[in-house]
Amino acid sequence: MQQGRLQGKAAVVTGSATGIGAAVAVAFAQAGANVVINYTRSETEARATADLVKETGAEFRLAMGDVARDDDCRSLARAALDAWGRIDILVNNAGVTKFAAHHELDALSAEDFARIYAVNVVGPFQMIRACRDALKAGGEGAVVNVSSIAGIAGVGSSVAYAASKGALNTMTLSLARALAPEIRVNAVCPGYVGTRWFRDRFGPERFEKIDFEQAQAAPLKRAGQPQDIAEAVLFLSSPAARHITGDLLAVDGGLHLSLPR
């Protein structure tokens, strides 16, 4: 990480207790930003992430909140404003899914769709709305939505998840137009990322097999790690990307090249 790339900036990172979100929070802190670390249930893990942020010398605030709730989104924005009087960067990382084979249409209910959309689509919209005025005030606000190649290729853990990420991609384009020139809006679209979430769901042995298989499937022959996504988010949030908005950046080792369109 290049030290000082975000010196003095204030960032809100949703879903930053574990995985990609935690890696983003730490990367931002290493680059000089102060960070709001958000969690819904994983308070212990959020405090562990906060300890890593603290080691960098950056300031942080822990904020519990469900982005599906507009009041919680506004509270996250206030946490940054009360602490530092500014919001320069918003990373919409919080997300949920339900595993269901795409051909098993009866495996998903309307309630499943509603919850997945509430967190994956409505949540980012509400967070952007809550932070908009502060992001605009600085004149160089940056929003990065953590999407997925599922939203590009119609693959992933379920039809509902893929559809939600497709909607998030479309919203990224819409708001990039609407909020320019003061706020840039981009998305990163990871492929498989070897997080603790996969290990906890499938167990260590199955996780290692999945990790290996995903590495073999990608043209770059490596499985994605949270740090890979964090570095892409850091780039899109930084002055180095000052001329980029409305972009959907695939960060997947080239996996999208061989997926069905």
Query: What one-letter code names the amino acid at 248?
Result: L
The first and second tokens of residue 10, run together, are 């204030």
Q: Which of 130, 154, 151, 157 is nearest to 141 (CA)?
A: 130
Rounded CA gap, 44 and 79, in Å?
19
Contact 195, 20 (CB under 8 A): yes
Q: Does an H or E element contain 131, and which? A: helix 123-138
Angle at 177 between CA 175 and CA 179, to 5 degrees: 60
The first and second tokens of residue 86, run together, are 């500014």
Q: Specify the length of the chain in residues.
A: 261
Give the rounded distance of the alpha carbon of 183 from its chain centre.
Answer: 17
DSSP summary character for residue 121: I
Enumerate the active-site residues. 161
Q: How many CB atoms lie within 10 A of CB 58?
A: 22
Rounded CA gap, 194 and 185, in Å?
26
Q: Which of 160, 67, 159 is nearest to 116 (CA)?
A: 160
Give the rounded distance of the alpha carbon of 209 from its chain centre.
Answer: 25
Contact 22, 105 (CB under 8 A): no
